[in-house]
Amino acid sequence: MENEGSGAARRPLGVAVVGFGWMGRVHTQAYARVLHHFPQLAVRPELVTVAEEVPGRAEEAAAQFGFARTARDWREVAADPRVHAVSITAPNFLHREIGVAMAEAGKHIWIEKPVGLTLEDARAVSDAVTKAGVQGTVGFNYRNAPAVETARELIASGEIGTVTHVRIRLFSDYAAHPHGALTWRYERERGGSGVLGDLASHGVDLARFLLGDIASLTADTAVFVPERARPTGATAGHTLATGGEPGPVENEDYVSCLLRFASGARGVLEACRVSVGEQNNYGFEVHGTRGAVFWDFRRMNELGVSRGTSYQDQPLTTVHVGPGHGEYGAFQPGAATSMGYDDLKVIEAYRFLRSIAEETPYGATLPDAVHSAAVLEAMAASAESRAWVDVPTP
């Protein structure tokens, strides 16, 4: 259902952003752009509050983006009746406390993955959202790429036959530098898992989005940079640090995992945050009995497709997505004109706001985060036991 949107008819919706690192900025920019691309929205996001504990950071955000007010304590946001929806882009260890509190305060939430440190954290936020009757969107942004949505449609329609196996990769160098600061991301208490929560969570969501539930798995993990320097000041993103007190890296840099899907398909998921020479090498290869589909995030608007009845020596075609594929038409008028990462978050903002306007969930939701957390927990258990582990259905 499409809403007829006009400036006069749209209902204002007060939004807040809690945590203004890089991802807080991305969410804010998405709110600012969403009506440019999706004028049919029945609500108009208004930037009410930005909350950030680092001195001066909230004030800078307000000056740049036009938030009406700032706060050092996120609890001020929960108590503010002018705020109807909240982006939670704070570190992982705060997800559960903030997410539950915002839902209980009647706020709709757009929360970044992995939604806490554990399966129980993700479930607690999901339950709070359900009990409060609010909407909850999760930041699994790669599923929003029009090429990925097209791949899902091809698979579901049987265009490549019965899926036999899939390979999903997420390789990055953001933690490869030995002088990378020992931020919360590398600590169990504040970051939880390492590359499992940061990258493999995206891989798990893509696997489920494309092929359905994962039934069992076996995994192996490793730490390749065992020690880092503690930062001497506030950090944002992946900051370098020298001269600080050294400390241990407490969570994994790398994971490899064999998957068995409920459908009978097999899979390989591999993720690493210290891959020198790899910059956001994310993608998948899905093989079926009559064809295959391939996607590389670095060529986000292309999809490799092989289909037909040749089986052997069957050609591969490059499909340039365009209007008619996913939400592409909201950004570009013709195929092969690039979309980018931030556009995926604009799509996510649109689906979050549409969920609120229509009181119906669109896009990735808290139950998706719970399913992802269950798989990640099974990976961690398998790596410790060195055995196959069944994935429980949350």
31 in Cβ contact with 349 (< 8 Å): yes
Structure tokens belonging to residue 97: 């406390």
Tokens standing for 18? 């809690």
Domains of the chain: 11-141 (3.40.50.720), 142-336+364-390 (3.30.360.10)
The Cα–Cα gap between 388 and 121 comes to 24
How far apart are the C-alpha atoms of 19 and 54, rounded to whole Å? 9
Contact 220, 381 (CB under 8 A): no
For residue 296, what pLDDT band results from cuts at 50, 70 and 90?
very high
221 SS3 class: strand
Q: Examine the pLDDT at 127 and tell me if it is beyond 80.
A: yes
Angle value at C-alpha 334, between 330 and 337, nearest 5 degrees: 85
- Model confidence band, residue 160 (pLDDT cutoffs 50, 70, 90): very high
- Give Rg (Cα) of the chain: 21
- Count other Cβ atoms within 10 Å, centred on residue 7: 8
**Which residue is listed with tokens 């008619």?**
324
- The type of residue at 81 is P
Residue-wise pLDDT for 348-371, tens only, equals 999 999 999 999 999 999 999 999
Rounded to an integer, the average pLDDT of 325-341 is 96
The 3-state DSSP class for residue 203 equals helix
DSSP summary character for residue 149: H
- DSSP result, 364-379: SBHHHHHHHHHHHHHH
Q: What is the mean pLDDT of residues 23-41?
A: 98
Is 71 in contact with 98 (CB distance < 8 Å)? no
Cα–Cα distances in Å, from 186 out to 160, 176, 197, 225, 286? Answer: 40, 13, 11, 10, 32
Asked if 274 contacts 175 with a C-beta cutoff of 8 angstroms, the reply is yes
Query: Is the N-terminal amide bond of 114 cis, ω within 30° of 0?
Result: yes
**pLDDT for residue 341 is more than 90:** yes
Sheet holding 317-320, edge to edge: 317-320, 302-307, 291-296, 281-288, 163-171, 266-272, 254-261, 214-222, 389-390
CB burial class (10 A; 0-12, 13-18, 19+) of residue 290?
Answer: middle
Answer yes or no: is pLDDT of 243 > 70: no
pTM reported for the whole predicted model: 0.93
Residue 223 near residue 252 (C-beta atoms within 8 A):
yes
What values do phi and psi take at 12, rounded to 5? -70, 140
Query: What is the 3-state composition of the chain as percent helix, strand, coil, each rounded to the nearest 5?
Result: 35, 25, 40
367 within 8 A of 123, measured Cβ to Cβ: no
Give 233's pLDDT tier (boundaries 50, 70, 90).
low
Over residues 325-343, the mean pLDDT reads 96
From 130, 91, 132, 131, select the one nearest 111 (Cα to Cα).
91
Q: Classify residue 73 by its DSSP letter.
A: S
- The pLDDT of residue 1 is 37
Q: How far apart are CA 368 and CA 371, in angstroms?
A: 5
What totals of helices (H) and strands (E) does the chain contain, helices first? 11, 17
Q: Say which residues have a Cβ less than 8 Å from residue 93's Cβ, sequence separation at least 6.
A: 116, 117, 184, 189, 190, 191, 192
Q: Is 349 exposed, middle or buried (0-12, 13-18, 19+ CB in 10 A)?
A: buried
Give residue 95's identity as a one-letter amino acid code.
H
Sign of the Cα pseudo-torsion (185, 187, 190, 193, in order): positive
Q: Which DSSP letter does residue 180 get?
A: B
Give the pLDDT confidence score for residue 191 in this predicted structure.
Answer: 86
pLDDT tens, 74-114? 999 999 999 999 999 999 999 999 999 999 999 999 999 99
